[in-house]
Amino acid sequence: MSEGAQAGAIVAAVWGGICCVWLFFYLLFSLCIYKIAKKTGVENAWLAWIPVVQVVPFIQSAGKPLWWILLLLVPLVNFIVGILLWMAIAERRGKPSWVGILIIIPFLGLFVPLYLAFSE
């Protein structure tokens, strides 16, 4: 096997690994949004599995109007709105609102959707 072919195989393996990790986290996040939407009484919770459209059950789970999608399109505003949405979801799930703020803490933020989706 030539050096070019070996380099190509390495690049393909790395990209394959990256895609598998991305797919895992996408499916995990979609499952969390789906479970949260079901537990908060959102009608079309299955939309959580569709990329981009999954923002609809996310916003509905927080009890906010759908025009908040526009706020998520504004740079810097989307950061604040995202925190507010997670805080509202935490409150709707019967948890303290500060749980939603934890989403901004690196690594710990990965567990906030899991906690809100799978806790009673």
Reported confidence tier of residue 3, pLDDT bands at 50, 70, 90: confident
Residue ranges of the domains in the chain? 3-118
Query: How much is the pLDDT for 17?
Result: 93
CB 25 within 8 A of CB 42: no
pLDDT digits (tens, 9 = 90+) for 87-102: 999 999 999 999 999 9
Mean pLDDT, residues 112-116 taken together: 95
pTM, entire model: 0.87
Mean pLDDT, residues 11-20 taken together: 93
Residue reference for tokens 């059950």: 57
Q: Beta-carbon neighbour count of residue 120 at 10 Å? A: 5
Distance CA 116, CA 35 (A): 9
CB 90 within 8 A of CB 99: yes
- Taking each helix axis from N to C end, the angle separating 77-92 and 111-118, rounded to the nearest 10 degrees, works out to 30
